Structure 1
């Protein structure tokens, strides 16, 4: 006697089976899931395709975990071998969000049978990235880069940029690899993304202490921001209504940062006189024509940073008489204290001046160095302790110098 072949599992057969187990009528299931009664009837009869949101709603109604029956959903994404963007994109996004990689790969393989479907993978990456799920977006941008035929297309360049942003973390070696991977494509980006790409490259170079690279990106940022500003200003002057260039930060940020980062790179190379020349580029940006409330707030930040950096350069060039003024400035601008303490300690060790009163005055802030988790402030803390070694040695305080050496060794493992 021939055994009857088991029925093949399908999305609707599984839903029908669990519906019978729970004893839910169509009306009850509609009420629990929030799916319109008529739509639900058409879905279960196979007359209407199901969205991934509706499947999730049914999973909740049946008290099933996230991702329930996802492995059976791909049939909803294809009708007569034609892909449905409105269903496949949300499906891939949800699979990425909950970690159903087993469901992603078969869909990707089928999509890549046609070159035009690379755009679907790019759209998934963009939706994930814009929702703050940058890590989940990485595989989709990698697929675009691997399968896009035109390496000069915006889609390819934007994928390189997004991949760069998404892979930045706390590991210095990985960050440098990300820079190397992205750098050749920075000029292929549309200008609005190029501005932010250059700003990010300069910032990463600062953390990695690659001062010549930081200078290069700051120079490029300054030139591009000036060019974009001139274009935007003329465009808005000549048109009553026009769409402003969409950038991640206000345009004045990119302009001012081009000067600020150039000065910072020169400072780190000991070129304090050269660095001072660039302060004027961001000390007073009230002339910037395209300012809104956000822009004006950014301009005020640049004014504060310009004052702080002028004090910094004067001190590092040996003008220690400005120290009392600088301390007053730090009291009025407490966010500048971490950077200020590093400057003061470097100056004290370099010019052999006593700052014991400063260390006592800011003892609580110095202790708070340990609370900072970002790479910039971790680096400041390490360098503060490094310069303090020389400071304590010059004062003949060997035990304190030894404590600072041990502290530097511990911090070196964390930075």
Structure 2
């Protein structure tokens, strides 16, 4: 960006307007005379700290001249890293992200500066300065081009982590940019990348890919764990550690695969994977962090064992499962959904539990129904699927008023978020029970179907 004025001309005009000599201005701004001479004479580059002092002396906001500084001191002159690095950090402090973008883009072609800029990006990332880190990572990715390197792989992985959100398709798009670079990551970063990618693919119901990544994570962690506990190994602290204790990746691999098998309806296999991560007696470490994750895994295994026993037809497990989920507000609704789904699959009567939690269910329905869906990509899956299972449960037991109300409410939300697979399920359920629908219910159904026919996407 070209400016009609420069730092030098604005400083000259200010000093003339205020009738100040160089010495007087330096005393007022608490800046050395060499700095002002450097600005006025363009003899040498000056630091961002010196610029901030001059800006303060001119009674301007800090950062006022940063765009000028890029052009005059980082483009036209030959600055060294001692000036560039502090400038990047100061820009981050002031939220001047565009200045970071411009500065990094200027110097990434320089083979000396590219790794230094990456180090700054990593430091921003570690200290939760995510917006600035993302800008640097994106510029590095552009400059790396199609070259396969550890730096490119790490940048794509960091961008994937920073971009994770409720949009499952967007998460998978970012995961797809990391996937072909997994072998470029070191062993430790690859472990965490495998975990995060498996979760992203699982949420998008890409079961086979998620399962393969979980298996890779298990294999990698097993190998690393064996290395850690080799006989006669010198006991020294590793230079780099994963985000979790090493045993966790093996346990979590089984946890993920159990969840995938559950989603695929393979409850017996899900039970076997759960038994695998329920028994962690082989873990050798006893430190506080290990104990924390051991307890986490045991907690997951306890409720999951009851769940999968219930889903395989063991009615006696339902009460134990309810005892696990009712203590947690975040687990209650997903757990009740699974109970009703099991009841439909195994023809189990669960009226007692629906009555026990009817207030919680009603509050959940009111809250979720009122939520305005802000993008078709972000779907309230639990609400839609729970309503479907409740409708199925009550309709199959002759409670038609309640069942059809759940069906219409769920179908309406499925249309709202354009969840085609759920719409098809609702249509099938309605047609199966249509003879028992009231005129009012049938009119509501036809209204919803009329909206579908008007939609060009169908």
Q: TM-score scaled to structure 2, two decimals?
A: 0.75
Contact 2:26 2:36 in 1 (8 A): no
Corresponding residue for residue 284 of structure 2: 289
Contact 1:148 1:156 in 2 (8 A): yes
The separation in 1 between residues aligned to 2:162 and 2:220, in whole angstroms, is 24
Alignment of 1:13-412 (within 5 A): 13-15=9-11, 17-18=13-14, 26-30=26-30, 40-46=32-38, 50-53=46-49, 55-56=51-52, 59=55, 64-65=60-61, 67-74=63-70, 75-77=72-74, 81=78, 83-92=79-88, 94-95=90-91, 98-101=95-98, 103-104=99-100, 107-108=103-104, 110-148=106-144, 151-234=147-230, 238-243=233-238, 245-332=240-327, 335-366=330-361, 367-368=363-364, 370=367, 378-409=380-411, 411-412=413-414
Q: How far off is 1:17 after superposition?
A: 4.8
Q: How far off is 1:306 after superposition?
A: 0.5
The separation in 2 between residues aligned to 1:288 and 1:49, in whole angstroms, is 58
Give CA-to-partner distance per residue, 1:49-98, whole Å, 9 cap, x none.
544355456656766445311112124447963x4223323434554673
The separation in 2 between residues aligned to 1:129 and 1:207, in whole angstroms, is 25
The separation in 2 between residues aligned to 1:15 and 1:407, in whole angstroms, is 67
Flag the 1:244–1:147 CA change in 2: closer, same or farther, 3 A.
closer
> Which of the pair has more CA radius of gyration?
2
The separation in 2 between residues aligned to 1:285 and 1:20, in whole angstroms, is 77
Flag the 1:56–1:274 CA change in 2: closer, same or farther, 3 A.
farther
Give CA-to-partner distance per residue, 1:31-61, whole Å, 9 cap, x none.
xxxxxx5xx4443332885443554566567
3-state SS of 1:115 partner? coil
The separation in 2 between residues aligned to 1:376 and 1:100, in whole angstroms, is 29
Give CA-to-partner distance per residue, 1:259-280, whole Å, 9 cap, x none.
1001111111111111111113
The separation in 2 between residues aligned to 1:291 and 1:15, in whole angstroms, is 64
Structure 1 unmatched ranges of 5 or more: 1-6, 31-36
Contact 2:275 2:305 in 1 (8 A): no
The separation in 1 between residues aligned to 2:403 and 2:57, in whole angstroms, is 66
Is the deviation greater in 213-222 or in 46-55? 46-55
Give CA-to-partner distance per residue, 1:318-341, whole Å, 9 cap, x none.
112221222223345555323321
The separation in 2 between residues aligned to 1:333 and 1:108, in whole angstroms, is 47
Flag the 1:394–1:15 CA change in 2: closer, same or farther, 3 A.
farther
Flag the 1:364–1:378 CA change in 2: closer, same or farther, 3 A.
farther
3-state SS of 2:147 partner? coil
Contact 1:285 1:299 in 2 (8 A): yes
3-state SS of 1:137 partner? helix
Q: How far off is 1:350 after superposition?
A: 2.0
Q: How far off is 1:160 after superposition?
A: 2.0
Structure 2 unmatched ranges of 5 or more: 420-458
Is the deviation greater in 166-175 or in 299-308? 166-175
The separation in 2 between residues aligned to 1:223 and 1:115, in whole angstroms, is 36
Q: How far off is 1:257 after superposition?
A: 0.8
Residues paired across the two proteins, number: 397
Q: TM-score scaled to structure 1, two decimals?
A: 0.82
The separation in 1 between residues aligned to 2:210 and 2:159, in whole angstroms, is 20
Q: How far off is 1:146 after superposition?
A: 3.1
Q: How far off is 1:302 after superposition?
A: 0.6
What do you get for the CA RMSD once the two structures are aligned? Answer: 3.5
Q: How far off is 1:284 after superposition?
A: 3.2
Contact 2:255 2:273 in 1 (8 A): yes
Corresponding residue for residue 33 of structure 1: none
Q: How far off is 1:210 after superposition?
A: 1.5
Q: How far off is 1:286 after superposition?
A: 4.5
